[in-house]
Amino acid sequence: MSATLTKPHRPAGASPAEAAPAVGQSDLPEKPATAALATLGYAARGAAFRTGSWLWKATGILAFLTLWEFGPLYLAAPSTRVFLPPLHEVLLAWGKLFESGSIQGHLAASLGRSVAGFGIAVVAGVSLGLLIAWYGRLNSVLNPLLELFRNTAALALLPVFTLLLGIGEESKVTIVAYAAFFPVLLNTIAGVKTVDPLLIRAAKSLGLNSFRLFQKVILPSAVPTIFTGIRMAGTASILVLIAAEMVGAKAGLGYLIVNAQSSFLIPDMYAGILTVSLLGLGVNFLLVALERHFSRWRTAVGA
């Protein structure tokens, strides 16, 4: 900003053709050499800071793992130690489960269900959300109903789904879809409704009809908000699925955990829990990256 202000004043009468290229450059945010050097310094310090912060983050995890490894041996009473095996026993159990292929089987079962339910939720949530946001009347009819369903805990409906759909795959996929549906739906509605009215005016003045307006302005503008909903749905779908698998299933990580517990294979139970954590982390990482990719243009708005 200061660069533009301190620039020598160009005489107003200068011939326009000659003025054009100079004008094109002078309202660029300029970066003199000193500023570039300073930026370099910042970047270097930033990199150091980032490695530092990684170190701090790793410290937390390492401390936790150390406590897990040595805590049961030295701190816990012998009777508790049975229920809280040290880390290496859990890792050994995980290795055995991996060798026998059973953990892959359970992971595949869980992933299959959550991907199916999540997929249904995204497709249904986005399309219904767009419809509701576009047709105001539909919104007033459906809104109270949606509020009611949204505030009913998904797991409370598990017995209903089990009764209606049996204890097979359908009931589990359905409950995952149900739990993941609402974040997607509500964020889609919010995304469409918060489109900048000025952009709509601009699009109308450009002669875009309703359909083009929706396709070229409203939808792209809502995409970041929709992806926030999709990320929330991803987390919700895994949480609900594990619980559902604990209640009645023949495979899946939830089943592995509960089954190991009742068979008194305590290290196997922890191996299952560890897998669930890693799965959750992985899914969240993926969806955050996806969300960031689609919101790139929004990051610097207002800067």
Partner 1 sequence: MTAKISLRNVTKQFTVRPGKHPGKGSGTASTTLTAVDSLSLDVRDGEFLTLVGPSGSGKTTLLDLLAGLSTPTSGEVLVDGQPVTGPGKDRAVVFQQYALFPWRTASANVSIGLEGKGPDGRKLSRRERAAKASEYLKLVGLAGFEDRFPHELSGGMKQRVAIARSLAYEPDVLLMDEPFAALDAQTREQLQEELLRIWRATGKTIVFITHGIDEAVYLGQRVAVLSARPGRLKAIVDVEIPDRDGDEDIRSTPAFVEQRHKVWTLLHDEVRLAQDAGHRKILPDGTAPDEPAPDEPAAQQTPERSAA
Q: How far is the CB of 190 from partner 1 (least distance, A)?
A: 17
**Contact range with partner 1 by CB under 8 A, out of 64-72, 129-137, 217-225, 231-239:** 217-225
Which member of 33, 77, 148, 303 binds partner 1 (CB under 8 A)? 303
Q: Which of residues 222-241 bind partner 1 (CB under 8 A)?
A: 223
Which member of 36, 206, 281, 286 binds partner 1 (CB under 8 A)? 206
Q: Of 152, 118, 114, which Cα lies nearest the Cα of 233?
A: 118
**Contact range with partner 1 by CB under 8 A, out of 84-92, 99-107, 212-220, 281-289:** 212-220
Rounded to the nearest angstrom, the gap between the alpha carbon of residue 198 and the centroid of all alpha carbons in its chain is 30
Contact between 217 and partner 1 per CB under 8 A: yes
Q: What one-character-per-residue DSSP string does 17-72 give? A: HHHHHHHHHHTS----HHHHHHHHHHHHHHHHHHHHHHHHHHHHHHHHHHHHHHHH
Q: Which residue, 45 or 298, is less far from partner 1 as judged by CB?
A: 298
Q: How far is the CB of 24 from partner 1 (least distance, A)?
A: 3
Q: For residues 303 and 298, what is the distance between their CA atoms, to the nearest angstrom?
A: 10
Place of tokens 């505030």: 151
| Amino acid symbol at 52 | G
Which member of 144, 198, 262, 293 binds partner 1 (CB under 8 A)? 198
Contact between 78 and partner 1 per CB under 8 A: no
Which member of 31, 50, 212, 250 binds partner 1 (CB under 8 A)? 212
Task: Please work out, in degrees rounded to the nearest 5, the angle formed at the alpha carbon of residue 282 by the alpha carbons of 280 and 284.
Answer: 70
Q: How far is the CB of 3 from partner 1 (least distance, A)?
A: 10
Phi and psi of 263, rounded to 5°? -90, 5
Q: How far is the CB of 286 from partner 1 (least distance, A)?
A: 22
CA distances for 256 relative to 26, 118, 164, 170, 250, angstroms: 66, 22, 25, 19, 9
Find all residues with CB under 8 Å of 207, minimum gap 6, and list them.
Answer: none
Find all residues with CB under 8 Å of 276, minimum gap 6, and list them.
Answer: 238, 242, 253, 254, 257
User: Where on the phi/psi map is residue 302: left (φ > 0), alpha (ψ -120 to 50), or beta?
Assistant: left
Applying CB under 8 A, the site for partner 1 has a residue count of: 45
Which member of 31, 50, 150, 204 binds partner 1 (CB under 8 A)? 204
Q: Which residue, 36 or 202, is less far from partner 1 as judged by CB?
A: 202
Contact between 61 and partner 1 per CB under 8 A: no
Contact between 14 and partner 1 per CB under 8 A: yes
Q: Which of residues 20-39 bind partner 1 (CB under 8 A)?
A: 20-21, 23-24, 26-29
Residues engaged in binding partner 1 (CB under 8 A): 1, 4-5, 7, 9-17, 19-21, 23-24, 26-29, 197-199, 201-208, 212, 216-217, 220-221, 223, 297-301, 303
